[in-house]
Amino acid sequence: MSFPSIFDWLETFSFLRGYPSVWLLLATGTLITLFLDWRLSLFALIVQYLVATLLYFDLLNPQLALIKLFVGMFVCLILYWTARQVDYGRSHGSPGRSYPVKTGRKIQVGPLSMPRNLAERAAAAVIALLLVVILQWGFSLYLPGLPEGMDYINLAILLLITLGMAGVITSRDPLSGGMSVLTFLTGFELYFAAIDQTTRTLALLAVLNFVVALVVSYLTQRGYARTATALSHD
């Protein structure tokens, strides 16, 4: 009895290649920018790496595209264990045993009341999407070096980079900010996969992903230690 390979599984989702992948990346990038719950953000990041792999298959050798997927999954694993170790995002329980996420005061937006940070992130996401619409359809921006006929890759890169920047600007903690940095990097890597397919460049970008994940993990652990120290002195 033979089991399907990972390439067979990816072929099953071939119907998502092209613009369907772009719309999924739009959804995941927006959710990472907006979500305050790390579990939902991390799930969106995992889906983002999976969908981006379908685009890599249009640009890279299948084996190299698969390596991109493995790198993304290891990065998500690092972030998962970091969040679990510090009980990220929870403010209840024993003092010093959680990493509370500050959302700021609530503000009134029409009939709705929401945390100020969520309103800021939503506004930044809307501005980022408007910028992409202006660049893609207003100025017909086509990034230099991209192969002809890959408008969907161009749009995916613009979406990931702008949404990643929006998330970084509005994040108040290292974990959510780190996920936005990784979103930005995914767009950056898609562009480099189109213009520079040397193994050395791909390896450097993979290392950069791991470095970002480790820095985010360190900053999150450091913030947790500071919180625990401050609470122990109260």
- Residue 234's pLDDT is 52
Structure tokens belonging to residue 140 = 């017909």
- Residue 138's pLDDT is 85
- Residue 204's pLDDT is 92
- Residue 230's pLDDT is 55
Element (H, E) at 48: helix 38-56
One digit per residue, pLDDT tens: the chain, 234 residues? Answer: 555 666 666 667 777 778 999 999 999 999 999 887 888 999 999 999 999 999 998 888 888 888 899 999 999 999 999 988 877 655 434 444 445 555 556 666 566 666 777 888 888 999 999 999 999 888 888 999 898 888 999 999 999 999 999 999 988 888 989 999 999 999 999 999 988 878 888 889 999 999 999 999 999 888 777 765 555 555
- Residue 2's pLDDT is 55
114-142 CB burial, b ≥16 within 10 A, e <16: ebebbbbbbebbeebbebbeebbeeeeee
CA–CA separation, 85 and 175 (whole Å): 13
Q: What is the largest CA-CA distance in the chain?
A: 63
- Residue 94's pLDDT is 44
**Residue 131, CB half-sphere, CA atoms under 13 Å: how many?**
16
- Residue 97's pLDDT is 47
CA–CA separation, 220 and 86 (whole Å): 8
- Tell whether the torsion through CA atoms of 90, 76, 181 and 21 is positive or negative: negative
Show me where the domains of the chain are located: 6-233
Q: Rounded to an integer, what is the distance from CA 59 to the centroid of its chain?
A: 20
- Residue 96's pLDDT is 43
